[in-house]
Amino acid sequence: MAAAGLLFASPLSQAAPNAHDTLPPVPATQSVAAPAMPLKAQTLALRQLGEYGPIALRGVNASRTLNVGVRLDEIVTAAKLTLNFTYSPSLIHSLSHIKITLNDEVVATLPLDKEHAGQPVTRELDLDPRFFTDFNRIGVQLIAHYTVDQCEDPTHSSLWADISPTTTLTLSKASVSLPNSLSLIPAPFFDRRDNGRVTLPFVLPNTASSSTLRAAGVVASWLGALASYREARFPVTDTPPADRHAIVFATPAEMPAGLDIPAIGGASISVIDNPATPGRKLLLIAGRNAQELQTAANALVLGKAAMAGAATLVQSVDPGQPRQPYDAPNWAPVDRPVWFKELVKEPQQLQVAGNSPEPIRINLRVPADLYGWNQRSVPLNVKYRYTAPSAYNDSVLGVDINDQLVKSYRLKPLSSQSDESAVSVPLLSGSNAIVTNEIQIPAFRVGSNNQLQFRFHIDSQKTGLCAATGGDVARAAIDPDSTIDFSGFHHYAALPNLAFFANSGYPFTRLADLADTAVVIPDAPTARDKETLLTLLGHMGKWTGLPALRVTVTPVKAIDTVTDRNLLVIGTGSAAQWLAQWGKSLPLLIERGRTEIALRDQRSSAWPDWWNGLEGDAVAPAGRAILTAGGPIVALIGFESPYAKSKSVVAITAADPGRVGDVLDALEDPGKVSQVRGDLTIIRQQEIESLRIGERYYVGEFPWYARIWVKVSAYPALMAVAGILAGLVFALAAFLALSRIAARRAGG
């Protein structure tokens, strides 16, 4: 996308703007650092400290680092590490211990006594809060010995300790008031130092128009992109919340309650104190009308570098050129080979040390609609380096995708500086693969959201009792110029498929700015409906890495204006009535006091979709069942738009409109996301059931000859017949050509 253009007025501390402009409102006095507010406690589990599971410490000098950040508006006043671990009973306990460091300062040593060896042990350690900064490293190091013999094997199997995932770090924190400064944006509203879920209230008037909600949605999608793996939730309130930072949207016609805002003089962005809690901040986005409010929102998500002071007036914003399909920054390009250096933030992520280090992990998002008719694998060209063993041993490199083994290589002694190998990674492609993988493998593991893992194991080079290398000299790395190539795949998919939506927002995220997406809300949305709207757009930002600058938000009464777009429907209130208009054409219909669901024979016909080359649809409906819900039921429904061919509708509907948030909870839980598929997903509290009931439709481009080849290749008998026919055609063509040549010679 072309660089967006921004033009801001001067901040308050500089010269005043033109006479016809009025600076945005700010308090008469600026905030300065204030005394700390009351303490609060935060408990972080091992996974929140950057670990995927238990920590296995092996060898004489094994170590691991835990990462923890402290928000800009907080200071640590006390810290306690609750370490749950088990260690080997074969150690010499007088020589063995666990060393704990904080930012490279030794803060504790834990002796490994004989009485508790081989049993779960809990130790509580008080950490000095003076050592904490914004980004912190807690080191856990095992110093272990099993013999006093100087010929000790540093990789002996008795040298081990396991740190349990139940290990926690509890921080007592005091909040600190920050100055009212736009230069800190996105902090304190989003702070990259905080690894927890982002929960940021939006303050909106009860009568907020769809234009105001659209501006709020653009900001929510921006925050979702910033939050990334942390997830983000945006509850909506009509007054400033107590003890929280929040974002406020205001126009003269739509003014939130509980705020004394002077006259608004134009599109403006400012940071003010939260009147509900001194020390907390409000980010005020204001305009004299809906257009100016949208201008201010766009300026916020595009122009951080240009903002300073407590407030700024926005004169104009150029959002840049529209996005092209599949060019989301968070998605790997699929029209060329992709270098690994494009997939990681720092080259250090591709390097490891030690004999059995943690895997090198590379996250990889690709469009959900990739389909390969002429190949069943993704070329993966891997270049890697390692500390070469002096002789052949059990040193290996394992290449996994989503924790599933692809290929394993023995690391041999090298005669040159580097070694290259090529591997292939299976993808969801081909008719049989789509069926098998969709049923047996969760979509988030092999679909649009993937993780490549490279597991090095460099074996000990022990050749005798007293001949072994040290345990910390081995090094290994994946070269940043390694590539993975998706360019041989077409964009073609059978829809509806809610797994695509739950994992990557497809088809809405096909355009990263959501230019062909309309979010349909009830004519009188509740606070929960607004929260659902904002949080879903936050998910879109997380999936694409961009704010939804061109999304449309419309009430049901104006749905006729967006019939050419993909529709994301929040189906409560009047939106539920709109869904009811389509009645029996939907796989599920939730009405007050009852639920009506389509019944189908789930057996596929022999030639259900020969022409499209994909797995078959269910046969015709067998009827419908009307049920009375005994508890809350929430559903995700996917179907083809009734207004435009090949356009999609994804609707969220609930028996109790107050429970639509259950869908948001499910989308934040990887275990539940893995269960979302088909065209109907029913959520009953903690249970999720997915079905395929409705008719399928197809989007994308797929050559006709490829469709024939895919279908014929799935049937060996047809392949044989096709081969015979091809041979006959070739023989006949050769016979005719030779006959013409012979006739020409005879006549000449």
715 CB-contact burial (10 Å; exposed 0-12 / middle 13-18 / buried 19+): exposed
Give yes or no for a contact between 430 and 358, defined as CB atoms under 8 angstroms apart.
no
- Same structural domain, 219 and 267: yes
Nearest to 105 by CA among 75, 127, 85: 127
Which pLDDT score is estimated for 706?
A: 61
Determine phi and psi for 728, rounding to 5 degrees. -65, -40
- 170 assigned to some structural domain: yes
Co-location of 467 and 510 in the same domain? no
Long-range contacts of 108-113 (CB under 8 A, 24+ apart): 110/83, 112/87, 112/144, 112/161
| Those residues with Cβ within 8 angstroms of residue 168's Cβ, 6 or more apart along the chain or in another chain | 43, 44, 45, 46, 81, 82
Whether the CB-CB separation of 410 and 423 falls below 8 Å is answered with no
**Helical H runs in 423-521?**
431-440, 443-446, 498-504
Distance in angstroms (rounded) separating the CA atoms of residues 74 and 219: 24
Label residues 220-237 b or e (16+ Cβ within 10 Å = b): bbbbbbbbbebbbbbbbb
- Judge if 394 and 348 occupy the same domain: yes
Say how far apart CA 98 and CA 143 lie, in whole Å.
6
User: Is 646 within 8 Å of 604 (Cβ atoms)?
Assistant: no
d(CA 57, CA 351): 19
Instruction: Count the alpha carbons within 13 Å of 233 in the hemisphere toward its beta carbon.
Output: 14
**Backbone region of residue 406 per phi and psi (left: phi > 0; alpha: psi in -120 to 50; beta: other values):** alpha
Tokens linked to 748: 């000449």
Residue 14 lies in a domain: no
pLDDT given for residue 80 in this prediction: 96
Amino acid at 81: L
Question: Is there a domain that residue 317 lies in?
Answer: no
Contact 498, 638 (CB under 8 A): yes
- What is the model's pLDDT at position 432? 32
Among 437, 472, 489, identify where a domain stops.
489
Give me the phi and psi of 674, to 5 degrees please: -65, -15
List of residues 6+ apart from 528 with CB closer than 8 A:
236, 572, 657, 658, 660, 661
Do the domain assignments include residue 26?
no
In one-letter notation, the amino acid at residue 368 is: A
The domain spanning residue 187 has which CATH number?
3.30.379.10
The C-alpha atoms of residue 480 and residue 346 are separated, in whole angstroms, by 10
* Closest CA relative to residue 604, chosen from 618, 614, 615: 618
Same domain for 587 and 650? yes
Same-domain check for residues 550 and 636: yes
Identify whether residues 661 and 519 lie together within a single domain.
yes
Task: Give the domain-ending residue among 308, 325, 354.
Answer: 308
Structure tokens at 142: 């095992």
Low-confidence ranges of the chain (pLDDT < 70): 1-38, 150, 304-305, 372-376, 391, 414-446, 461-473, 583-585, 590-631, 703-716, 718-719, 722, 747-748
Same domain assignment for residues 520 and 569? yes
Could you tell me if 466 and 546 lie in one domain?
no
C-alpha to C-alpha distances, 487 to 330, 368, 484, nearest whole angstrom: 17, 14, 9
With the C-alpha atoms ordered 272, 275, 279, 280, is the resulting torsion angle positive or negative?
Answer: negative
Residue 267 makes CB contacts below 8 A (sequence gap 6+) with 286, 287, 288, 292, 293, 295, 296, 299, 313, 314, 315
Q: CATH number, domain at 396?
A: 2.60.120.260
**Contact indicator for 409, 397 with CB cutoff of 8 Å:** yes
- Is the residue at 457 inside a domain? yes
Residue 515 within any structural domain of the chain: yes
Residues 539 and 593 in one domain: yes
**474 Cβ neighbours under 8 A, 6+ residues apart:** 353, 354, 355, 386, 387, 458
Strand bridging mode 634-640 / 680-684 = antiparallel
Q: Return the structure tokens found at 661.
A: 């948030």
Mapped onto helix, strand or coil, the DSSP state of residue 242 is coil
Distances (CA, A) of 250 to 10, 239, 247, 315: 21, 12, 10, 17
**CA triple 70-72-78, angle to 5 deg:** 40
Backbone angles phi, psi at 723, to 5 degrees: -65, -40
Same-domain check for residues 105 and 197? no
Give the pLDDT confidence of 510-538 residue by residue, as tens digits: 999 999 999 999 999 999 999 999 999 99
| Angle CA 326–426–696, to nearest 5 | 60
* 3-state secondary structure at position 185: coil
How confident is the model over 52-83, as pLDDT tens digits? Answer: 889 999 888 889 999 999 999 999 999 999 99
Q: What angle do CA 192, 193, 198 make, to 5 degrees?
A: 60
Q: Is 585 left (phi over 0), alpha (psi -120 to 50) or beta?
A: alpha
Quote the number of domains for the chain.
5
543, 690: one domain: yes
Domain extent, residue 740, equals: 715-747
The answer as to whether 458 is a domain residue is: yes
Helices (H) and strands (E) in the chain, counts: 11, 42
Question: Rounded to the nearest 10 degrees, how much is the dihedral formed by the CA atoms of 143, 145, 151, 155?
Answer: -70
Shared domain check, 623 and 560: yes
Answer whether residue 31 is part of any domain. no
| Contact present, 414 and 482 (Cβ < 8 Å) | no
| Cα within 13 Å of Cα(407), Cβ side | 14
CA distance linking residue 495 with residue 585, whole number of Å: 15
Q: Domain end: 308, 323, 353, which one?
A: 308
